[in-house]
Amino acid sequence: DGGITQSPKYLFRKEGQNVTLSCEQNLNHDAMYWYRQDPGQGLRLIYYSQIVNDFQKGDIAEGYSVSREKKESFPLTVTSAQKNPTAFYLCASSITEGYTFGSGTRLTVV
């Protein structure tokens, strides 16, 4: 079945470390997105990509980086420059208005 796979489900990071969250889709969708979810804040867009080898900053891109070397994959790196990285991260892909979401990665700084 087609879908989006995010891994790992839980991730712990020490302060000062970079970590990479994986997002893979087999839906043949051109567009992919990363969102951050905090309690009471809704979903905020970090980065998005509409085609391979191209991506755009969203509303809260500072402290994050992405790559889009393959259509299927859109990994997110949380860098040490992100001062408050503890959150739930959701990846999505879409074709026009039809979005599919992954099951999320919960990142905790320890």
Partner 1 sequence: GNSVTQMEGPVTLSEEAFLTINCTYTATGYPSLFWYVQYPGEGLQLLLKATKADDKGSNKGFEATYRKETTSFHLEKGSVQVSDSAVYFCALIKPGAGSYQLTFGKGTKLSVIP
Q: Which residues bind partner 1 (CB under 8 A)?
A: 4, 6, 31, 33, 40-43, 45, 48, 50, 90, 92, 94, 96-97, 99, 101-104
Provide the minimum distance between the beta carbon of 8 and partner 1 in the complex, in angstroms, as a whole number. 14
Provide the minimum distance between the beta carbon of 11 and partner 1 in the complex, in angstroms, as a whole number. 14
* Alpha-carbon radius of gyration of the chain: 13
**Sheet strands (E) in 1-97:** 4-7, 10-13, 19-25, 31-38, 42-51, 54-57, 64-66, 76-78, 87-95
36 vs 104: CA distance, rounded Å: 10
Give the residue with the Cβ less far from partner 1, 57 or 81.
57
Question: Do 101 and 7 meet the contact criterion of CB atoms below 8 Å apart?
Answer: no
Provide the minimum distance between the beta carbon of 106 and partner 1 in the complex, in angstroms, as a whole number. 8
Give the residue with the Cβ less far from partner 1, 18 or 41.
41
45 residue type, one letter: L
Give the residue with the Cβ less far from partner 1, 16 or 42.
42
Give the residue with the Cβ less far from partner 1, 82 or 94.
94
